[in-house]
Structure 1
Amino acid sequence: MMYSMLQIGYTKWSEIPQEDQELWFRQFAQEFNWHPDHTETVRIRFKAKAMDSYTKQVNAWKKVWQKNKRPRNINGRVFEQLIVHWQKDETAETSSRNSKNRKSDRGGKGMYVHNLGACSMSTKEDELIEANDGNPVDRLQLIKVAHTNKKTGQIQDLLIKDVVDLVETEIASQSQPLSDDGDSVGASTNLSRLQINEMVEKAVPKRKGGFLVGLARRASSYPASSSQAPYADPMILEELHDKGERIVALEEQNATIQAENATILAELASQKKTNAEIMEKLNRLFASSS
């Protein structure tokens, strides 16, 4: 879609008009099927993935441009418009400021450090959900896995470590002891995933736009058991309904063809029998005449 459907050089996903974003989602919906009740969940996850992929793609195109080269298969107008944006003084200033912010010590906490490598936070969450038999994981588990060094077993980012320590302390204070003697070691974490997510989101510092430091804004942060009925896009529902009707029509057509074939075979068998009887009568007449 970023090569075939992108007609304007938008610098980020949020600049793409909502109707165009919806058009991309409908194109995605043409390739896959799901239960209508899951449409809004799929839409949220699609947009999150599209935003992440679009940002990475634009950055990749920029790196190619900085090498005085041209990306393959890119729309010429899109590339020229992006070049105009990259050449602006304010764009260079913003890029320099963002780079400086990433390298700041954050009040003595040092630079932001994670252990995801090339894997995004959203992808890591998907991996944890898959490993958990498709069940969502809480954000404390996600943030710990993403920032814990595999060799040392320690969280290198001091700001994130403070968040984890704070949330774990709060969870321990609200957990119920399993033993009668009140031993806190045997405490059971009987808090819901939503409660733990809320603790993490309160403890994690907020960036501009409300983004959480060290976390991706995902559909899993929404309440798992909402009383609100799931939203179903009428157009998507209509497309799914049309697909179902086409399948039914094809099945009926196939049944009709099979019935017609059976009729033809029966008629051929009857004609064959009639031909055999005629040949037998002719043979008897020839025999009697001779």
Structure 2
Amino acid sequence: MSWNDYSRFLSTQPNPAPPVRRGSSSQGTSPVVQNVGARTAASPQTSHSQNDGADGSTPPPTNPNSPLQPSNSATQSATTRLNNLTIEELLESPGRQSLTRLDPNRPPGTLWFDIDGSVAATVRSIFERDFKEPHANWTQTPEPVINRWFETFAQMYNWDRSINQRVRDEFEDKLKDRMSDQVSRWKAKWKNIGDEACPKWIDPTVWAGLVRFWRDPRSERKSINSRNARYHDPDGTGIHKHRSGQTSYKARARKHSEKTGDSTPDLLAVLEQTHRKPDGSFVDGKSEELFKEVSSRIEEQESQLFSGDNMESSASGGLSVHAKNKIYAEVAPRKKGRLYGAGSLQQEASSANTGPSSEDPVVLSQKLALAQACIATQAERMHSYDAYFEYLAEKDPEFAAKFKQGNQTATTAAIGTEGTETGTGATGASTETGTGATGAAIGSSSPSAAF
């Protein structure tokens, strides 16, 4: 990606412009096409930059009168080599290990689209600095242009080849959102102050193309319809909005999970963060109704957890985050398949009904802990009947003898079945063990021992 757009702007100025960072066309340099010279200073560094210092810092502007100028032919040959590389070849090229790595699981030292705002800022800077045609919306953007922008992005970040398609999809989703937001801001500013709203780095002919599209009656009708849909209030609860700003719902969910230690994002907590004001009120009636209804159902189910026989009870004394998310998914309204209040957590919200895999070690350990707690509770209850049985045995010895005889028969049958299931080779050991266990059961007068 070059700075030709900005250079054309400089050429229209009556007075000489100050030197431009990372080299300009007036200095006789030609940055590598789709190079990181187009990114912001806060973007990750790349080994392909021809103008970066060895320590990653930006060098001072070069003196135009200096006899030592970079070779145009050398830079163009580097450009040609980069343009001839496919994405797969680019990802395998040497020197990429120093680039910031993308990973949806976010291990230490990695970033991801909906979690880290710096990635979204990079996507925005790419299309802004390479906006060479009047693409007023996503559908007008040609595929070759999108490919060029993605190739630029691939020179700023590194990732595993196995997630190539996912990175491409996430990039396009983020690009679509950022492009729509920025063009909408340009249009709103143009309606207020006219062509003075044109950013200085945009080619005047490109800006004129955008203005022609905005003035088109068909485009204006579509814009009005979209605006009416956004401000439509069919249920009388107010216009739907949120307070998340530029921070994605996934980023907020991750911060909340880091505080609680739970890897599952809490949809209700995210709804409260994005729709509740500091004074406790909600931005609209719909989010307030949803929050109250979900909270009420959670409290109702948590009150039933301490019945003693409920296997869903946990040591924390409340529902798990997954159980809360399931309630949220049942209560929250949907529009075009998207769950209200979930934002970019739609995938996590859809998994609330299915739940985590039954083979998940974390899930298995939780189930084991619940089962052990339930068994301990039942054993404690059974032992509490010992005193009652002893009292009955004193009052009615005949009944006590019959009860003991019945328990001995059941215990012997159970142990015999267990010995048979251990296999032929272990019959002797099982029989011996069974005899010992039977004797122990016979010698016991406790009803809890019979179980």
Same fold (TM over 0.5): yes
Partner of 2:329: 200
CA offset at residue 146 of structure 1? 0.5
Contact kept in structure 2, 1:45 and 1:218, CA below 8 Å: no
CA offset at residue 91 of structure 1? 2.5
CA 1:202–1:12 in 2, change beyond 3 Å: closer, same or farther? farther
User: How far apart, CA to CA, are the structure 1 residues paired with 2:169 and 2:303?
Assistant: 35
User: How far apart, CA to CA, are the structure 2 residues paired with 1:173 and 1:13?
Assistant: 46
For structure 1, the residue ranges without an aligned partner over 5 or more in a row are 227-290
CA 1:213–1:131 in 2, change beyond 3 Å: closer, same or farther? closer
User: How far apart, CA to CA, are the structure 1 residues paired with 2:152 and 2:330?
Assistant: 34
Find out whether 1:6 has 2:6 as its counterpart.
no
Task: Tell me how large the CA RMSD over aligned residues is.
Answer: 3.9
Partner of 1:243: none
CA 1:178–1:106 in 2, change beyond 3 Å: closer, same or farther? same
TM-score by length of 1: 0.59
CA 1:123–1:19 in 2, change beyond 3 Å: closer, same or farther? same
Most deviating of 132-141 and 6-15: 132-141
Q: Which of 183, 207, 222 in structure 2 is aligned with 1:79?
A: 207
Q: Which of 177, 185, 190 in structure 1 is aligned with 2:320?
A: 190
1:160 aligned partner, one-letter code:
S
User: How far apart, CA to CA, are the structure 1 residues paired with 2:281 and 2:215?
Assistant: 42
User: How far apart, CA to CA, are the structure 2 residues paired with 1:34 and 1:88?
Assistant: 42
Q: Deviations over 1:4-35 (max 9, x none)?
A: 43333222234434554344233212111233
For structure 2, the residue ranges without an aligned partner over 5 or more in a row are 1-125, 358-451
Question: Matches of residues 245-264 of structure 1 in structure 2 within 5 Å?
Answer: none
User: How far apart, CA to CA, are the structure 1 residues paired with 2:146 and 2:284?
Assistant: 35
CA 1:85–1:108 in 2, change beyond 3 Å: closer, same or farther? same
CA offset at residue 219 of structure 1? 7.2
Question: Matches of residues 162-241 of structure 1 in structure 2 within 5 Å?
Answer: 162-169=289-296, 171=298, 177-180=304-307, 188-190=318-320, 192=322, 196=325, 199-200=328-329, 203-206=332-335, 210=337, 212-217=339-344, 221=348
- Bigger share in helix: 1
Question: Matches of residues 115-126 of structure 1 in structure 2 within 5 Å?
Answer: 115-116=243-244, 119-120=245-246, 123-126=248-251
Question: Matches of residues 1-290 of structure 1 in structure 2 within 5 Å?
Answer: 1-66=126-191, 67-68=193-194, 69=196, 70-116=198-244, 119-120=245-246, 123-133=248-258, 135=263, 137-151=265-279, 153-169=280-296, 171=298, 177-180=304-307, 188-190=318-320, 192=322, 196=325, 199-200=328-329, 203-206=332-335, 210=337, 212-217=339-344, 221=348
Question: Which gives a bigger RCO, structure 1 or 2 (Cα 8 Å, sep 6+)?
Answer: 1
TM-score by length of 2: 0.40
SS state at 2:343 partner: coil
Most deviating of 51-60 and 63-72: 63-72
Q: Deviations over 1:97-154 (max 9, x none)?
A: 33334434322212224333xx13x534314414533956243332221101111x23
Contact kept in structure 1, 2:127 and 2:149, CA below 8 Å: no
Partner of 2:442: none
CA 1:36–1:8 in 2, change beyond 3 Å: closer, same or farther? same
